[in-house]
Structure 1
Amino acid sequence: MNRKILAILLKKEISLMKRNPIIPRLIVAMPILVMLIIPLVTTLDVKNVGVAVVDNDRTELSRRIIADMDASEYLSVKGCYFSYDEAFRQVEEGVADAIVTIPKNYFKDLTNGRKPELDLKANGVNATKGTLGAQYATMSIANSLSRWQAEQGVSLSLPESATVNLYNPTLDFRHYMIPALMVVLLIIICGFLPALNLVSEKETGTIEAMNVTPVGRLEFVLSKLIPYWVVGILVITVGMCIGWLVYGLVPEGNAINIYLAAILFSLVMSGLGVFIANKSTTILQSIFVMFAFIVIFQLMSGLFTPIASMPRWAQCITYAIPPRYFIEIMRSVYLKGSTVADLWVQYMALSSFALLFCLMAGMTYKKRV
């Protein structure tokens, strides 16, 4: 590889990127739009879950439990009723999403060492809202009992088991989504744009002029990809900064692990992009092919839908989806503080895909003289 020729070609590519009316704006707008807009729109957070309460205890503690649920930003007490039928009617009418029944002598049983259980039912029509609402209500009641015990200095026989949400105690969906959204940035910047760049060279005929020069295949392909690799790393940095400044989300693990995964995934997407460009003759053709891959990557990588909830046959297919491993790394490093040693399987998978796609890109690009 001739480094002097590569440096000249890189200078030429940077000049072309600056003169392009779309690429610089896209590079600036992509991380802002993806990291700011998508977390606000595509969220599974459920707020203002309607709760109908049947208070058969009517003690100060039961009133405290109801008040704490109503004060939560995730729950909204729609009413306190004397019978279960009245509360159930609110669910039938769509006013409430869950019913909490506080049994008679609830406070007395707690202070006497018994462990009474609250009856909690969720509306299964809207499964997501009902299930999450039931979890929110359970957490709110547990917190109310703990605070009451500390404030009043009384000994309550609290339930032995309680739900503790590890790594994301508040169940904030943005904490789960934001690390994974960075995969969209790299797919566009390091896969989509290089493919369009190469195919545009074919349509304008400039690639034919390049092919009759002494420039080698390696120098030419690298000159097309290196600028986008650098931009991809910058975009990841901007995305991390937006996640920190806007949403207060910082990685629990080392940022070096994130950049290592980003570099490997950039190689994967750039290799795939060059391969598609080599097989395409027009920009429109490459756009359709890349768009098909992007849709598959987003739907089957676990970005929006958990892989564990997919059918078994679909779960097996996801092992051949490179973004799956990048998303697993990002979420683990961000939320759990995982290291390379913990995620060596995912890093090895990305390395294998990077090697495979880069070999495919190199073998399919032919310098015609």
Structure 2
Amino acid sequence: MLSYLIEKEFKQLFRNSFLPRLILLFPCMLLIVFPWAATLEVQDVRLAIIDQDHSQTSRRLIQQIEASRYFRFQHMAVSYEEALQAIEKDQIDIILQIPIDFEKEQILGKPAEVQIAANAINGMKGNLGSSYLAQIINRQSDTTSIRYLYNPHLDYKHYMVPALMTMMLFLICGFLPALNIVSEKENGTIEQINVTPVNKVVFTLSKLIPYWLIGFFVLSIAMLLAWLIYGLVPASSLSTIYIGAGIFIFLVSGVGITISNYSSTLQQAMFVTWFFVIIMLLMSGLFTPVGSMPEWAQSIAAFNPLKYFVEFIRMVYLKGSSLAEVGKPLGCLLGFGILFNIWAVWSYRKQQ
């Protein structure tokens, strides 16, 4: 009985000319466009420099700044007032003022201070631009060596791409099952199942298994694109990723079925699902670290399943963590998955 119901689901899926194309195009567009659009890197910061020292040390510092890919040198200002006017006209973003005796202070072993003034209307650009500039200045006068582990070039795309796989699986394996069942309610085709002796467990599995298979297929496409476009390959084994993804797909498909059981119309299912999508994505650590959120938000995020899969896939993809090292997030995902799938079976009513 279950095999016939699964066959029916796939036939119904491929009978729709739009959904198979969406399943193929969605991961492609998400991984090609989103990492470039949702980057927190700041480049081409427009910079004006006021060199009051005119020494060999200050010229060497200016050359190092000009060689950086983060800055676009605009002009050498004569005075701070001139540079400030350029900021007011939106011609530059940051002012660097190198004071008199800059080289002398360094030779004497004293801290050589410079002034950085940033346009903070765009707070992120001003903050990160100032931080990049301070790092270049500190490297010239300091012998400290910094080594970045797991993402040595601080490429934000390497940080985003694995997490985008979480978003992709959540939307495809959670959103589509909910819409599929509710559309059957509206069309009346689900009544044909309701008059059969198919029990709730078999019915729920017949709705989940096709999307489990689709989820693995889409994940494979995403990992292939991550390798072809960004040169990003998992630092750990593929089996670890597929095991974690299987648990996550099991979880989110159960969430989708649960939502569909409480939705009477397609519009209602879309609004409810989209509400949970927005909240869960924003509080998952996908865009900003959960540790940077207020304590009350971190407490809420502890009940967000997406948080644990984002943590899992970044640990496996970038750090190369083994299955034993990601036991905690996988255990949380499995617990949520069992809870939501039991809820999905319990909440299904054949008279719907």
Q: What residue in structure 1 maps to residue 62 of structure 2?
A: 66
Q: What residue in structure 2 maps to residue 227 of structure 1?
A: 210
Change (3 A) 1:292 1:167: same
CA distance in 2, matches of 1:249, 1:8: 39
Q: What residue in structure 2 maps to residue 24 of structure 1?
A: 20
Among 188, 206, 210, the alignment partner of 1:205 is 188
Q: What residue in structure 2 maps to residue 361 of structure 1?
A: 344
Task: Write out aligned runs for 1:179-218 (5 A).
Answer: 179-218=162-201
After TM superposition, the score normalised by the length of structure 2 is: 0.89
Task: Write out aligned runs for 1:62-211 (5 A).
Answer: 62-107=58-103, 110=106, 116-141=112-137, 145=140, 158-161=141-144, 165-211=148-194
Contact preservation (8 Å) 2:163, 2:314: yes
Among 280, 296, 311, the alignment partner of 1:297 is 280
SS at match of 1:58: coil
After TM superposition, the score normalised by the length of structure 1 is: 0.86
CA distance in 1, matches of 2:186, 2:92: 60
Which residue identity is paired with 1:281? S
Which residue identity is paired with 1:226? I
> Deviation of residue 68 (structure 1)?
3.0
CA distance in 2, matches of 1:333, 1:81: 49
CA distance in 1, matches of 2:217, 2:200: 27
Contact preservation (8 Å) 1:325, 1:350: yes
CA distance in 2, matches of 1:288, 1:81: 54
For the pair 1:275 / 2:258, whether they are aligned, the reply is yes
For the pair 1:252 / 2:235, whether they are aligned, the reply is yes
Contact preservation (8 Å) 2:204, 2:344: no
CA distance in 2, matches of 1:167, 1:118: 33
Unaligned runs of 5+ in 2: none
Which residue identity is paired with 1:224? K
> Deviation of residue 245 (structure 1)?
1.3
CA distance in 1, matches of 2:233, 2:70: 24
> Deviation of residue 198 (structure 1)?
1.7
RMSD between aligned residues: 2.5
SS at match of 1:51: strand
> Deviation of residue 256 (structure 1)?
2.9
Q: What residue in structure 2 maps to residue 7 of structure 1?
A: 3
CA distance in 2, matches of 1:134, 1:341: 41
CA distance in 2, matches of 1:13, 1:232: 15
Change (3 A) 1:57 1:129: same
Unaligned runs of 5+ in 1: 146-157
SS at match of 2:302: helix
For the pair 1:40 / 2:36, whether they are aligned, the reply is yes
Which residue identity is paired with 2:282? L
Q: What residue in structure 2 maps to residue 152 of structure 1?
A: none
Which residue identity is paired with 2:19? I
